[in-house]
Structure 1
Amino acid sequence: MGKALPLEQRSYWNRLAAQWDIQLMVIPALLMIFVFQYIPMYGVMIGFQDYSLFKGFLDSPWVGFKHFSAFFNDSDFSRVMRNTIVISFLKLLIGFPAPIILALMLNEVRKMFFKRFIQTISYLPHFISWVIVAQMVSSMLSTDNGSVNMLLVNFNLIEEPVSFLSLPQYFWSILVMADVWKGIGFGSIIYLAAIAGVNPQLYEAASIDGASRFKQMYLITIPTIMPVIIIFMILAIGNLLSAGFEDILLLESPAIREVSDVIDVYVYRIGIQNQRYSYATAIGLFKAVISIALLAAANYAARRSGNSLW
């Protein structure tokens, strides 16, 4: 009998058959994606219809780009797009580097007990729902015995309590800080895993050459994990129009809607509460197309560095 070929030299179907047990493990995930991600795409057609629940998908009249045109000409368009872009950029500017910085700082901690304690404390907010986080933020900023107002009054920084969540000029800052606090710890896990894969001999060689810990971080750690950073940057740019939903929906109020209305919340209010299904679908499809274009552009730009999604 001839010697069997190594797995990497076999044909595609032979490799697939040799790994049948592993491939079976993937099937449930593929089915879930197909059922919950691809089948619902059939409903995108109502963005081009005057959809009626009683007439259904097939009998509702087709209106072409009527709802897209209505959104672009709506008085809310500029406000919604401005808020979406500004909040997304703030979250990208502050929220994206925050887990990287935390991971780099934790990597420099030598006391394992202290390191694990900080990791546990920073991971915990991720497992708290936005409903509870929003209630915590509201309680802290409350004018009635809220801890923030009490602290500011006691330090004579303000004369009387301020209703922060009712003032538009504070909303973006509060939202971004709450988002960073909730996600910074869990987001740092991937970067800590990437840092753990750095060859220790590089640090030893740099230390022998007299490089400080900061220089080792700057010259070794960051360049080594840069491919991971670039991949997540591509994904973040692709989600640039996803400014948030749960956090904004739970923290906003009619008094600050001028600065809190973003695409996702606007679609929810127009589509679900006002039952304008076709109009909301058209807005969601517009967002999806722009997101795909941003993702492709970011991936194309990153390809020059040798790191891209495809």
Structure 2
Amino acid sequence: MVNNSIQRTSKFRLFLAKEGNAYAFISGYALMFIIFIVVPVLLAVLLSFTLFDTIQFPTFIGLKNYVTLLTQDDIFMKYVLPNTIEFAVIVGPGGYLLSFILAWMLAQLPHLPRTILALILYSPSMTSGVAMSVVWLSIFSGDQNGYLNSLMLNYNFIQEPIQWLQSPQYLMPIMIIVTLWSSMGVGFLAMLAGILEINPEMYEAGALDGISNRFQEIIYITIPSMRPQMLFGAVMAIVSTFQAGAIGVTLSGANPTPQYAGQLIVNHIEDYGFLRYEMGYAAAISVVLLLMVLIFARVANSLFGSRE
């Protein structure tokens, strides 16, 4: 027994000597990840099975919140879910494709203009909230002083100002335009870095093997050589698309948005969680959103993940 104890102690010390520094370095991140990611997700899953109004202690009600969401919540099924799918299908792939195209175009430029243009394209993702309030609200203002209304009135395209941000007909297209404008984030930078890291000799070898144009270079050399960056960009595009809820509320100035035209799942969560204080039901919606993000992330991983 004593010998076994001594052996276990010596193995543990040997493990600490070899791996201790590595685990010490990641311990801070692991602690923060558990506190701010794992614990909140687990609590949201547990709360989704309860009736909780933030005042009384949660009451377990089983799957009732999920049944209500799928069978009785007409707003969710008629407006929120279709809006979210439409928004995600257009903004997600659209922003992702736009990021790749712009990153590829910038990679063809010399260092100085590439750096300046990359900063210009990246800056909207850092200042999107402020820019939305200052720039886009001024452009789409519903009075005659709004830039777009003023321009169209001057050229007699319209006879009276259009309430762009209060009209269900125009709110979703405007949300999509503004989101695409601010979609050049870290995924775009990762793609640019991935393209720049490709060895130029691979293109020369490809030319010898019969690749004759830039499109073939992109398909057969560029994309396969930067799968990790493509996967990272895809995951970031998915997450940012599904968590984009503030844009409709910021543009329209109301939650819910006018006639639910720009209501996304995140807005629905905020509506029930922070306006109606139905935290259990809001947690159930958030779990559904998490599952949607996981499904799309798995699809992205199957497309751009390692083949090894």
TM-score where L is the length of structure 2: 0.80
Asked if 1:118 corresponds to 2:120, the answer is no
Q: CA deviation at 1:89?
A: 0.8
Q: CA deviation at 1:21?
A: 3.2
Change in 2 beyond 3 A, CA 1:13/1:192 = farther
> Are 1:122 and 1:186, in contact at CA under 8 Å, matched by a contact in 2?
no
Change in 2 beyond 3 A, CA 1:116/1:279 = same
2:164 aligns with 164
Change in 2 beyond 3 A, CA 1:54/1:163 = closer
Amino acid at match of 2:124: P
1:272 aligns with 274
Query: d(CA) in 2 for partners of 1:152 and 1:264?
Result: 34
Q: How does 1:118-137 map to 2 (within 5 A)?
A: 118-137=117-136
Query: d(CA) in 2 for partners of 1:146 and 1:162?
Result: 10
Change in 2 beyond 3 A, CA 1:36/1:153 = same
Change in 2 beyond 3 A, CA 1:178/1:33 = same
- Deviation string, structure 1 residues 55-90 (Cα, Å, up to 9, x no partner): 43xxx4321112222222122121211111111111
1:39 aligns with 39
Q: How does 1:284-299 map to 2 (within 5 A)?
A: 284-296=286-298, 299=301
Q: How does 1:205-220 map to 2 (within 5 A)?
A: 205=205, 211-213=212-214, 215-220=216-221
> Are 1:191 and 1:228, in contact at CA under 8 Å, matched by a contact in 2?
yes
> Are 1:88 and 1:243, in contact at CA under 8 Å, matched by a contact in 2?
no
Q: CA RMSD in A?
A: 3.1
SS in structure 2 at match of 1:96: helix
Q: CA deviation at 1:121?
A: 1.1
Q: How does 1:245-264 map to 2 (within 5 A)?
A: 245-252=245-252, 253=254, 256-264=258-266
Asked if 1:82 corresponds to 2:82, the answer is yes
- Listed as ranges, the gaps of 5+ residues in structure 1 are 1-10
Q: CA deviation at 1:190?
A: 0.3
Q: CA deviation at 1:24?
A: 2.1
Q: How does 1:176-191 map to 2 (within 5 A)?
A: 176-184=176-184, 186-191=186-191
Q: CA deviation at 1:182?
A: 1.3
- Deviation string, structure 1 residues 256-293 (Cα, Å, up to 9, x no partner): 34221111101101111111111111221232234334
Q: CA deviation at 1:48?
A: 1.7
Query: d(CA) in 2 for partners of 1:121 and 1:248?
Result: 24
Asked if 1:107 corresponds to 2:113, the answer is no
Amino acid at match of 2:81: M
Amino acid at match of 2:137: S
Q: CA deviation at 1:12?
A: 11
> Are 2:44 and 2:286, in contact at CA under 8 Å, matched by a contact in 1?
no
- Listed as ranges, the gaps of 5+ residues in structure 2 are 1-10
Identity %: 25
Bigger Cα displacement from structure 2, 163-172 vs 239-248: 239-248
TM-score where L is the length of structure 1: 0.80
Q: CA deviation at 1:163?
A: 2.0
Q: CA deviation at 1:295?
A: 3.6
Query: d(CA) in 1 for partners of 2:96 and 2:12?
Result: 39
